Structure 1
Amino acid sequence: MKEMAKAAEIAGEWASTSPETRAGVITGVADALDAAGPFLIEIADAETRLGTERLTGELARTTFQLRRLAAESGLSYDVRIDRADPSWPPGPRPDLRRYRTAVGPVLVFAASNFPFAFSVAGGDTASAWAAGCPVVVKAHPGHPELSRRTASVIEEALGSWSAILGLVEGEAAGVEALRHPAIAAAAFTGSVAGGLALARIAADRPVPIPFHGELGSVNPVIVLPGAAEANAGELAAGYAGSLTLGNGQFCTNPGLVFAPSSGPFADLVAERLREIPAAPFLNDRIESGFEAGADRLASVPGVREVVRGAGARLFEIDLEDFVPEVAEECFGPLGVVVRYSRLPDVLPVLSALPGQLTTTVHALPEEAADVEALRPVLADRSGRILWGGWPTGVAVTAAMQHGGPFPATTSPATTSVGTAAVERFLRPVSYQDWPSHLLPEPLRDDNPWGVPQRFS
């Protein structure tokens, strides 16, 4: 495949660029996308049904994260320098210098629900570029024309660096690219079934590669009794809004909420959801999948359908009837309220849940002791734990963790959002007793790139 060959050919040169050069190239792409915004948004709206307001905000997020990750280019080397020490026990220590360098060409599988932010110029591409890796994107079939036009805008902006982005289309081409020996890592956002199929291919290659997949999550919310009683109306409105944001087509959609059996919270959520108007799905396949998943849930013993509205579906189940099928993701505006009588009884159910991107706690300050019991369980099951608020906003920042235990992701030690996303596409290398002038720039004594260095 020509895209693979181009990526392999330029990989070494791109990895050896200075942070200043790399940041300038990535920032230039962000500028070009901003300039082409009206044109690209029109195409995206025609292909995705997301609306110009949502798409305008998403494109702004996309160019922001490009610039933010461009600034990370010089901060990700993690340079550690141990100078030679003849007195080091149990024997002399040599001069050791360790840093992180690019893994090589990265294959990115674009997502359906974010045609800008998780697509051709999305966070996976931006973080791989910032790490020094060229990228080949497998376009999503939900927005093919947008993918082509975005790639064209980027290619023009890259100029002589145009080989750091390639685009392939079609399922067969994506699998062929994943098997190509030039590819050193892959990133994916999508379904559990699709992600696992690709992860197996990545693992079964003659040379296996890291596969960073974001797969599925229902993002449980736990409402403690005091909060449910004191803030029932506010919490119900917040939950309904988060559940139906973007017609529920977010990976952080809070599809599962544990709430006290007594009190008005669940009834208020139902009232809110009955008022939600219908909103378009990304495509007919996702809509039919949502309806099929909701109908399967409705057939689970103990599950009661409370709302079958134009814009959402809501189910209830008592905690003692909870079964694993209730925690399966249904991509769209579907929520399940799990009614509990005693908070301690919720802990073993939470502990048995599959891995999640997020978990959320709503509690009053005086319920701190109960929260302390919950916290380690939630930390064990998820990558981001919220106190109050709702999980559907994911900030592009240094401390963001957008990942979690399987099946939320295949790589729970990494994040796909935030500046730490760069770490997925780096590998450590140590140099021992090398002359300073022959070392890579980040490891040299004169530190020509001015990157952070840690000495011991």
Structure 2
Amino acid sequence: MTQQTDIQLSGQHYINGQWCGQAAQFSSFNPVTNKPLNWTFAEATPEEVNAAALAAKQAFTSYRSTTPAQRAQFLETIASNIETDIEAITQTAHLETGLPMMRLQGETGRTCGQLRLFAANLREPIEHFVADLANPERQPLPKADTRLGVLPLGPVAVFGASNFPLAFSTAGGDTASALAAGCPVIVKGHPAHPATSELVTRAIANAITQCDMPAGVFNLIQGGQPQTSTALVNAPQIKAVGFTGSLKVGRILADLCAARSEPIPFYGELGSTNPQFLLPAILAEQAEQLATTQVQSMMMGHGQFCTSPGLIIATKGEALDRYVATMATSIAEQAASAMLTPGIAATYQAQVDALLSDSTATLIAQGGAAEASHQTRPIAISVSATQYLATPALQQEVFGPCAVVVKCDDAEQLQALAEQLEGQLTATIHGTTAELASAQTLIEAVSYSVGRLIFNQMPTGVEVCHSMNHGGPYPASTDGRSTSVGSAAITRFQRPICYQNMPAALLPQQLQDGHPKLQQF
């Protein structure tokens, strides 16, 4: 494996096509060894945040005028440049996150795949454009020619995620969709993986030169101080924010966006418990298999996926007892492991300690004991449905390998719990064909609390495709009408505009007569 000393970094910000800043304020960190790495990085000053915002605003004037084909080429070039440097990028991410190399290689492929998905949709859009044709003979008033188009919002601030150093960070989905929409981007790199952010930024910087894009179309600012984030969100040049992270931080940033003199949209993906509803017949048939699959899913990334299944809901009985017994055996076999950062590990441990101190909760099992203070062990507990509904702490996401099994007295109590769920990214209903056919009331209740409703599959894994929706009602996300994954994510960073009686030669290409995607009425 490439050693840290083989990879040379500037440790600086990337602003308006230049690397700048004093790289001596904070260090990269290895969560597995629980020690700092030798790389040091700059902490963004208010002046540097302002410079990035001004550069993005200046770039917007020319970037918004690029054609869809030019933006497609730009995104494809970024993807190709990332693939060219994939060895250094993934090995650096491995040092900074402790995530397995296979996982990081797959995440790099996903990152490049979503860049190319947006490029493909720019070249051949799946959506239709609409024109209402003029009717000068209409009485009592003539009808004007109106055509519905879109405009990019302007510079977008994107916050890198701790748990996805590639797919939800520097060149991740928010950046890809904003660039596809015609918006310059300022990425606030996550302080847990600043070296990875710099290497990916190099790939983007090279693409800017190769595709002759304006220098300020992409900017990276590094740092871990809260005031850097607030300064970026408050910069008047910023017109939207994309965020993946905790409910606590996301809510702070969302409130800042709403409190600005010009409020701006905040698209925050804030986590989820991703409930698993186990219906009686399938539980009786597959208790052991369902429990094994549950543990496998919740252990992916040591439980640090936004779609990790942390809540299991089922009715009491012999089948659920078998499920819990298998879960206990499987969890006891799981080893303790380091989390993405010491801070995340400390938060997880505090939440688990609070759950275990609840006298109404029953410990199902814990994984192997931690061998160091920065490691955490998997855990599962069980509670009654009554206690679950009465205890807000039980309903909150525990970011890590933790699961809560809720035991319902009967189907009516299970239905009641489904109707009181908070907003979730996903939920799964496990049932036989016959059960699902007769579970319409449950399906309807759950559907109103989720962004993605799954049947007989685990939620971990979010396909990057046209039909994906990765969002959900609050608190899963701050805007349940939008997605952060899939080609529809581009709409977050666009706004509609109606062109009335516009000369045909001046219309955007996709709104001109004869365009294959134009629907006329």
Query: TM-score scaled to structure 2, two decimals?
Result: 0.84
Contact 1:61 1:117 in 2 (8 A): yes
Q: Secondary structure at the match of 2:448?
A: helix
Q: Does 1:289 align with 2:347?
A: yes
What is the one-letter code of the residue matched to 2:271? G
Cα offset for 1:76? Answer: 7.2
C-alpha distance 319-438 of structure 1, shift in aligned 2 (>3 A): same
User: 2:337 matched to which residue of 1?
Assistant: 279
CA distance in 2, matches of 1:373, 1:77: 32
- Other-structure match for 1:347: 415
Using the TM superposition, give the Cα deviation of residue 216 of structure 1 relative to its aligned residue in structure 2, in angstroms: 2.1
Displacement of 1:77 in angstroms is 7.2
Return the offset for 1:434. Answer: 1.4
Tell me if 1:175 matches 2:241.
Answer: no
Structure 1 residues 325 and 72, CA, compared in 2 at 3 Å: closer, same or farther?
Answer: same
1:45/1:55 contact within 8 Å kept: yes
The change in CA–CA distance for 1:298 and 1:82 in structure 2 (over 3 A counts) is same
Match of 2:363 in 1: 305
Asked if the contact 1:78–1:99 (Cα under 8 Å) also holds between the matched residues in 2, the reply is no
Residues 105-161 of structure 1: CA deviation (Å, up to 9, x unaligned): 111011000000010000100111111111110110100111122112210122132
Identical amino acids, percent of aligned pairs:
37
Name the residue aligned to 1:371: 439
- Describe the superposition over 1:413-432 as per-residue Cα deviations: whole angstroms up to 9, x where unpaired: 00001111111111000111
Q: CA deviation at 1:318?
A: 1.4
1:36 aligned partner:
85
Secondary structure, counterpart of 1:17 in structure 2: coil
Distance, in Å, in 2 between the alignment partners of 1:321 and 1:332 is: 22
Q: Distance in 2 between matches of 1:132 and 1:158?
A: 14
Match runs of 1:211-360 below 5 Å: 211-262=266-317, 263=319, 264-310=322-368, 311-322=377-388, 323=390, 324-360=392-428
1:87 Cα deviation after fit: 4.7
Q: 1:165: which partner in 2? A: 218
Counterpart selection for 2:162 from 85, 106, 112: 112
> Which residue in 2 is equivalent to 1:394?
462
- 1:267 is aligned with what amino acid? A
Instruction: Classify 1:138/1:89 alpha carbon distance in 2 versus 1 (closer, same or farther; 3 Å).
Output: farther
1:27 corresponding residue in structure 2: 76
What's the CA shift for 1:85? 1.2
More deviation, 367-376/49-58: 367-376
- Mapped to 2, the partners of 1:188 and 1:89 lie a distance apart of 50
Q: CA deviation at 1:373?
A: 1.6
Cα shift readout 1:36-60 (whole Å, capped 9, x = no counterpart): 0001111111111112121111111
- Taking structure 1 as reference, are residues 225 and 435 closer, same or farther at Cα in structure 2, changes over 3 Å only? same
Question: Is the 8 Å Cα contact of residues 361 and 382 (structure 2) preserved in structure 1?
Answer: yes
Q: Give unpaired runs (5+ residues) of structure 2.
A: 1-49, 369-376
- Mapping 1:88-99, distance limit 5 Å: 88=138, 91-99=141-149
1:454 partnered with 2:519: yes
The aligned runs of 1:122-141 (5 Å cut-off) are: 122-141=172-191
Partner Cα separation in structure 2 for residue 177 and residue 313 of structure 1: 38
Give yes or no for contact 1:191–1:215 (8 Å, CA) kept in 2: yes
Q: Give distance in 1, aligned partners of 2:127 and 2:285.
A: 49
Counterpart of 1:202 (choices 257, 264, 280) is 257
1:272 shift after superposition: 1.1
The SS at the match of 2:268 is: strand
| Equivalence for 2:14 | none
- Cα contact 2:276–2:309 (8 A) shared by 1: yes
CA contact (8 A) 1:40 1:150 kept: yes
C-alpha separation in 2, matches of 1:89 and 1:327: 59
Whole-angstrom CA distance in 2 between matches of 1:57 and 1:89: 61
CA RMSD of aligned residues (A): 1.5
Whole-angstrom distance in 2 between the partners of 1:307 and 1:315? 7
Matched residue of 2:117: which SS?
Answer: helix
- Tell me if the contact between 1:382 and 1:404 (Cα under 8 Å) persists in the aligned partners: yes
Instruction: Give the deviation of 1:268 after TM superposition.
Output: 1.1
* Residue type at the aligned position of 2:470: H
Question: Once the two structures are superposed, what CA deviation does each residue of 1:254-289 show, in whole Å capped at 9, x if it has no partner?
Answer: 100012321211111111111112232111111111
CA–CA distance in structure 2, aligned partners of residues 48 and 125 of structure 1: 21
Residues 1:53 and 2:118 are matched in the alignment: no
Higher mean C-alpha deviation, range 269-278 or range 180-189: 269-278
SS at match of 2:60: helix
CA offsets, 1:297-347, max 9 Å, x none?
223342112212224100001123223321101100000011123122112
Answer whether contact 2:314 2:414 (CA < 8 A) is retained.
no
Write the letter of the residue equivalent to 2:434: E
Deviation at 1:443, TM superposition (A): 2.2
The answer to whether the 8 Å contact 1:307/1:313 transfers is yes
Query: Residue 292 of structure 1: CA displacement?
Result: 0.4
- Normalised to the residue count of structure 1, the TM-score between the two structures is 0.96
After superposition, the Cα gap between the structure-2 partners of 1:90 and 1:354, relative to the gap in structure 1 and judged at 3 Å, is farther
Inter-partner Cα distance in structure 2 for 1:261 and 1:275:
25
Structure 1: distance between partners of 2:140 and 2:475: 44
Quote the residue 1:143 is aligned against: 193
Three-state SS of the structure 2 residue aligned to 1:72 is helix
| CA distance, structure 2, for counterparts of residue 63 and residue 444 of structure 1 | 32
Task: State the AA in 2 paired with 1:112.
Answer: S
CA distance in 2, matches of 1:175, 1:3: 14
Paired with 1:204 and 1:189, the residues of 2 have a C-alpha distance of 20
Provide the aligned length of Structure 1 versus Structure 2: 453
